[in-house]
Chain A
Amino acid sequence: MNWLTTLRVFLSHGTRDFFRHKTLSLLNLLALAVGVAAIVAIQTVNETALRSFRASLDLVAGRPDFTIEGQGFRLPEKLIPLLRNDPAVREVTPTLSLVASLPNHPGEFLHLIGVDPFSNSELVTYRLEDALRSPTDAIAFVSEPNTIALTRSLANRLHLQPGDSIRAVSAGHQANLRVRFLLEPSPDLLGADDHLAIADIATVQSAFGLFGQVDRIEALLQPDASGKIATARSSLLERLKPHLPAHARAGSPERRGQEVEKMLGAFQLNLTALSLIALVVGMFLVTNTVAANVVRRRSEIGLLRSLGLTQNSVVFILVAESLLLGLLGSAIGIFLGLQVARTLLQSVASTVTSHYVLLSMQEIVVNPWSLLAAGLAGLLAAALAAWWPARQASLVSPVDALLPGNSADRASSPQSHFLRASLLCFFLTLLFSATALYARIPRTGFLAALSILLAAAFLAPALARLLSLAPSLPFSFTILARSTFSRGLHRHGLAAAALSVAVAMAIGVTIMVHSFRATVDQWIGESIKADLFIAPSTNLIAGALEPLDPQAETLALSTPGVRAVGTYREIRLFLDGTPAKLAACRLEILRVYNPLTFLSTLSGDPYELCQKGDYAIISENFARRRRLKAGDTVSLPTPTGTHPLQVAAIFRDYTSESGLLLLDRSTYRRLTQDQGLTSLAIHLEPGVSPQTVGDSLREQLRPRGEFLVYSQAGLRDEALRIFDRSFAVTALLRTLAIAVAALGVTLSLTALGIERTREIGILRATGASRGQILRTIMTESAYLGTTGILLGLVTGFAVALILMQVINRAFFGWTIDWHTPFPSLLGIVGGMMIACLIASLPPAWRASRLSPAEALRSE
């Protein structure tokens, strides 16, 4: 029989079967689709984030050969002549950027970039559309104060016409910016943040009082004889080095992009790993279903075999059928995934912005290659999942196969192999945990999580057998259920494995998120002591670190009822190539009103040390990641030079993923010359209502721009809101896994029902009532559920342990106190059990409706 004929057989049988068993096929399809959708959604969101970040960077910076950036602090523009007069430099251009709030458009902001149109012509990646189409307009861009270019989409959103003015506030400076140009990004930069606005650098300096300052200096270099610029770059760097301030970072521009992408990498890997686990769960299900299909169609396969179809052809047909299913499932999954990506976009953008870099995304960017990859993953999963049961089916002799309802017990798998595999996976878990923690290969943490899930999956059949050996309740249907369960292990083992993987993942993630949230909540309770907090609204909306109006502190101090005002300044920078947060507080206020919880200190009072000398307090995760202890030294590059700071104490902090370096304000200002403040913490006299003072401050601050005034509870809620948003995607994936697992139970039981047609017929013929059949099958389902859920529960704790103690430690270094969320766990366990029972209803119902005559027709 040649392959063409096989194909014809496949087409006629496969498709007929598909339509005959619509429900089952659809369930199958759905399982695969959900798995693929999870991957597509996560990949698309990740790619959109990266693309948007890159496009925004390119839009602002073009693609220069060389950049100098001030990290944390701006650069003096006086550096520009140094480059301009260097023989290696062909062109040099500055940018000066800031985030300004728009008081008349709450919730919106401008990411305003000052450029020099005279020197950046070779670097720009946008066009300025002359919005008024009047000749003098072009001169206005460089000569008329407050003239800016906006993106068309933002102009539309804010209902701004060319020529309109818009009030913008940044660091206490207010400007009435006039929209005279529209910004048209070049097509390859679609996806760039539409909050970007462009103005002449003189305009930005003048409107916001930033004279003499720039953020980035970009240069095009003279290539050497072979057309390369690497040599020119390194020699330029050598010449510049003695003149650069300590906080300047100079070199290849790709570096910044790479650093941020590396930073985002951990976050994205996290999501990708979770989405892959969803596919693995989906794969278990497909295997399960194909196996069920095979059983259902034994007689058909037997017939085809007796008509001369070879074993290989049977495998081919079944795998091809599964592939067809995979194709449809992938298509649906891709469609669903893109919808899910759209809904996740804002939550991911906000999360990235509050933890890493300013990111704003309006529409998803679809990468056809990743869709193809996700589709192929779906197909591969379908093919792989079908292969094993297909092979089993092909081994059955035509004679056996043609006997209807013949049990498939002989196909049950060798238990000892599974046990060995389980043991191996468990050791792999330990190994990968060790490499993640001690060999500093954080990514292997995810392999550890996957290994423990697989260990559980391989253990499922054995556990099922164990359970089936336990004494059952003394009812006829329970005894019967136990015995059928034990005989159906070949099928139940797989379903229980899928169930346990899903439950373990759900429980692991639930415990981790709950513990983390409880830890953070408790920490917030201990560390947020002030009654009111004030910050510029852009810092919340856009995740910016724009300084507060300097008047705000004076204003707060002079408000009646205010006892003390703590200040907070925050800067994001890179220390030794890894991101970190630098913060400055008035420690004398902190120590009295809001003492820190120190994990270790130098001898002496850490507050006093920091107030009088070059000392710093570092966060626990900063210490862990950099392997520092009290008394060690950290080098801090600032505009005034690199300053060695001695670690006075280590404290617990959850505000920064990358770790926090805390200085006293006086030290900070002395070392950095930065007078800015990011937020204020206001402590009130006893008995004074925070509401009253908050309202009064709000009223006084209103003319100065857009501010957020939080109460203690408000800030706590806000912090937890950010926390929850950060885990929104995780929560969604968890739900998906649970849904897929519930589908799996239904599939498994439906398949069993069909497999048992003859058996059920006999039972009915020997006097079993419909109710008894129904109860038997539901009890069997309970056995299956118990196996999977019990195993999943235990494994879930292990997964949680890995997430907190391995992955978290390796990537972030936070301390997460273990908090078991008993109600949630009970909910998951109970919910899954109920889901199993409900899932067993349709197959149980169908089995109970079988007429004994039909079931036993061939006996």
Chain B
Amino acid sequence: MKKLLLILLLFLATSGLHAADPWARAMKPWSWSFPRDHGAHPEFKTEWWYLTGNLDDENGNPYGYELTFFRHGLQPVATQPDSAWSIRDISFAHLAITDVRARRFLFSEKLSRGALGDVEISQKDMQVRIADWNLQRHPDSTLTMSASDSTTGIGLDLSATPLKPLTFQGEKGLSRKSATPGNASHYYSFTRLQTTGQLELGGKKIPVKGLSWFDHEFSTSALGEDQEGWDWFCLQFDSGEELMLYRMRNPGNRTDPASSGTWIPAHGPSLPLKSSDFTITPLDEWKTASGATYPSGWKISVSCLQLSGEVQPLLLDQELQLKRTAKIRYWEGACRFTGARSGKAISGRGYTELTGYASPIGQGMKE
């Protein structure tokens, strides 16, 4: 059955190839309306609510966390609707905590078909719950999230308040992933959220505070046919600015021209970045026990911003090895940035996401 799920997720999308496309596609910018668009968009096949953050405890020890909720549509209309077990979407969630000082990286996951109230995802606002893991947006715009797993002994209970209004990525939120029209997602972020709460590690509750980054993205076909994966960066600079970059990787590790990014200044409108505006150069490699090789450490430069510097992971091994959601592996880790902008030293923290190096994660998102 594990094998079944693997197949399930690897080839999820192909069923959509039938005559009339039943799924909506990201062809043109979405007409955004909040809080409704914080909620689910079931007409699209894939959707996620993604939180990452760098936090410190009272002694200044650094921690990283990732909490992501995924919704994946199997079929636009559920078959066998009279059964409580009838499936339209499957839902899964990933939780990871990086304890930098102890050099520990722990992760956990949830997977559900949503039967009998196991999953609740509102279409009105950001109210997402898979089993007892949840993410809620409150009227004061604060996000609260909680998740825990007693098997690995990790958990979190955090509240994150946006310090800036939301940022639309790409063209008014239409984030292209390849040259083919429709290979794109609708994508917005809260790039700086003041975060407080507690992490749980080995049964110990650790009060923490720091910064989080939030992405909400929905699409039907976000990857091009032969794209292998992506390298994604979000950086929060001490200067109050943020940078998001992603590099879609074509065969031969070539950068897809549709790769892009966004610069978010401390105040004022954000600046979209084209692939020609920036370069990302790996500095080193990290080999997993299973033999996969990830790049590790990058030189990043954004010429138009006169920004350049190095992104280094806080811990080499921040690879999620998922079992339940098929045998998917990806690297999602806390990083730090040191460099210069316009000749002045600049530093910050952030998260890096590397997919398609150890398992072909992206295929579920191709059509």
Contact = CB atoms under 8 A, between A and B. Distances in A.
Interface string B156-170: 000000000000000
A514 to B, nearest CB: 53
19 contacts: A80-B115, A81-B116, A87-B150, A116-B113, A121-B324, A124-B1, A127-B1, A130-B4, A137-B7, A138-B7, A139-B8, A142-B74, A142-B113, A144-B79, A145-B79, A202-B80, A202-B86, A206-B80, A212-B84
A212 B131 CA distance: 20
B87 A84 contact: no
Given A85-B132, A121-B1, A205 B85 contact: yes
A206 B11 contact: no
A92 to B, nearest CB: 10
* 8 tightest Cβ-Cβ pairs between the two chains A and B: A135-B11, A202-B85, A138-B7, A206-B80, A202-B83, A205-B83, A138-B8, A118-B113
Contact of B5 (A117, A143, A222): A117
A137 B78 CA distance: 16
Contacts of A141: 4
A128 interface: yes
B361 interface: no
B12 A128 contact: no
B15 to A, nearest CB: 5
A120 interface: yes
Contacts of B324: 121
A77 interface: yes
A69 interface: no
A139 B117 contact: no
B89 to A, nearest CB: 11
B79 A136 contact: no
Nearest to B148: A87
Interface in B66-89: 74-75, 78-80, 82-87
B150 A222 contact: yes
A141 B8 CA distance: 10
Contacts of A137: 7
A203 interface: yes
A139 B85 contact: no
Contacts of A87: 150
Contacts of A212: 84
A78 interface: yes
A118 B1 CA distance: 9
Interface in B295-326: 323-324
A128 B1 contact: yes
Contacts of A481: none
A222 B118 CA distance: 19
B112 interface: yes
A780 interface: no
Contact of B82 (A78, A138, A201, A206): A206
Given A200-B85, A206-B82, 4 more contacts: A130-B7, A142-B8, A143-B79, A205-B85
Given A142-B113, A144-B79, A222-B151, A136 B1 contact: no
Contact of B87 (A85, A124, A135, A202): A202
Given A81-B116, A90-B151, A121 B87 contact: no
Interface string B200-214: 000000000000000
Given A90-B150, A138-B11, A139-B75, A203 B117 contact: no
A143 B74 CA distance: 8
A454 to B, nearest CB: 56
A135 B14 contact: yes
B344 interface: no
Interface of A: 77-78, 80-81, 84-85, 87, 90, 116-121, 124, 126-128, 130, 135-139, 141-145, 200-203, 205-206, 211-212, 222
A222 B148 CA distance: 13
Nearest to A114: B85
Contacts of B131: 84
Interface in B113-135: 113, 115-118, 131-132
Interface in B219-253: none
A271 to B, nearest CB: 38
Nearest to A205: B83
Contacts of A121: 1-2, 5, 323-324
Given A84-B131, A144-B79, A203-B80, A128 B3 contact: yes
B90 interface: yes
B152 to A, nearest CB: 11
Contacts of A126: 1
B111 interface: yes
Given A135-B14, A139-B74, A139-B75, A117 B4 contact: yes
Given A127-B3, A128-B1, A205 B150 contact: no
Contacts of A135: 7, 10-11, 14
Contacts of B84: 77, 205, 211-212
A210 to B, nearest CB: 9
B243 to A, nearest CB: 38
Contacts of B113: 116, 118-119, 142
Nearest to A117: B1
B112 to A, nearest CB: 6
B74 A77 contact: no
A120 B151 CA distance: 17
A80 B15 CA distance: 31
A138 B10 CA distance: 10
Nearest to B324: A121
Contacts of B116: 77-78, 80-81, 84
A85 B131 CA distance: 8
Contacts of A211: 82-84
A731 to B, nearest CB: 45
Nearest to A222: B150
Nearest to B13: A135
A761 B96 CA distance: 101
A760 B145 CA distance: 106
A224 B86 CA distance: 35
A116 B85 contact: yes
A119 B115 CA distance: 11
Nearest to A120: B1
A139 B80 contact: no
A261 to B, nearest CB: 28
Contacts of A142: 8, 74, 87, 113
A201 B74 contact: no
Contact of B90 (A84, A118, A128): A118
A143 B75 contact: yes
A204 to B, nearest CB: 9
Contact of A81 (B82, B87, B118, B150): B118
Contacts of A205: 80, 82-85
A118 B112 contact: yes
Given A84-B118, A117-B1, A202-B86, A139 B15 contact: yes
B59 to A, nearest CB: 27
A200 B78 CA distance: 14
Nearest to A212: B84
The CB with the most chain A CB atoms within 10 A, among B83, B86, B113, is that of B83
A130 B2 CA distance: 12
Nearest to B9: A138
Contacts of A84: 116, 118, 131
Contact of A138 (B4, B79, B86, B87): B4
The CB with the most chain B CB atoms within 10 A, among A117, A119, A143, A212, is that of A143
B14 to A, nearest CB: 5
B80 A145 contact: yes
A136 B15 contact: yes
B313 to A, nearest CB: 31
A128 B8 CA distance: 12
Contacts of B8: 138-139, 142
B94 to A, nearest CB: 16
A838 to B, nearest CB: 64
Contacts of A200: 85
A77 B117 CA distance: 12
Contacts of B90: 118
Interface in B1-37: 1-5, 7-8, 10-12, 14-15
